[in-house]
A and B are shown apart, each in its own frame.
Chain A
Amino acid sequence: GESVGLHLPTLSVQEGDNSIINCAYSNSASDYFIWYKQESGKGPQFIIDIRSNMDKRQGQRVTVLLNKTVKHLSLQIAATQPGDSAVYFCAETRDNYGQNFVFGPGTRLSVLP
């Protein structure tokens, strides 16, 4: 079946460096994508989203890039901080509705002092 996947299961970065977390998706009909952050013992927390009519969207210290040609999504975190240590999930859906969200297995980001 169609799914959302990962390029790397774990990522370690030095504090202050930029982080890039990648995600591959296979459903060409998906038109809405979200990145979630999940800290240990907590529920997923919304970070940023992007629709398929865009290729870039920026938030506070985060940028999401969407490449529809190769079905690739990335999350860039600028000046990574210890509080950014968490598991990051990408999710895709074709119609915005929660029952149709497909989540990838996640990337664990570890920020080194």
Chain B
Amino acid sequence: DTGVSQDPRHKITKRGQNVTFRCDPISEHNRLYWYRQTLGQGPEFLTYFQNEAQLEKSRLLSDRFSAERPKGSFSTLEIQRTEQGDSAMYLCARTEGQGAGELFFGEGSRLTVL
């Protein structure tokens, strides 16, 4: 158990619909990261939070992607007007303490856009 829960595990949606993924880390007030992983590739960084502050979002893939972490606990990643190219695994990860060191990943939320 990595202390990161993600929901839903699988999401199938039609192109143009909005989707939201949720991440619950075991502990609050640490760093929380969102990564995307396409088939056969390694994870690709999207954005991260320190408590409720989003410290890096320039690497979100487009303005259709947004993330929040109200109150520094759980986080959500929303994709608006989904496209087929958004089909991927969306991974949430945490680090211990103030952020240095290994990433503890959740099981991921797999998105399929038809």
Contact = CB atoms under 8 A, between A and B. Distances in A.
| Chain A partners chain B | yes
Interface of A: 4, 34, 36, 41-46, 49, 89, 91, 95-101, 103-106
B105 A98 contact: no
Of B33, B99, B103, most buried by chain A (CB within 10 Å of CB) is B103
B40 A45 contact: no
What secondary structure prevails in chain A residues at the interface with B?
A: mixed
B2 A45 contact: yes
Contacts of B2: 43, 45
A42 B31 contact: no
Interface of B: 2, 4, 31, 33, 40-45, 48, 55-56, 59, 91, 93, 95, 99-108, 110
Contacts of A99: 33, 45, 48, 55-56, 59
A43 B40 contact: no
B78 to A, nearest CB: 20
Contacts of B95: 97-98
Contacts of B101: 96
B41 to A, nearest CB: 5
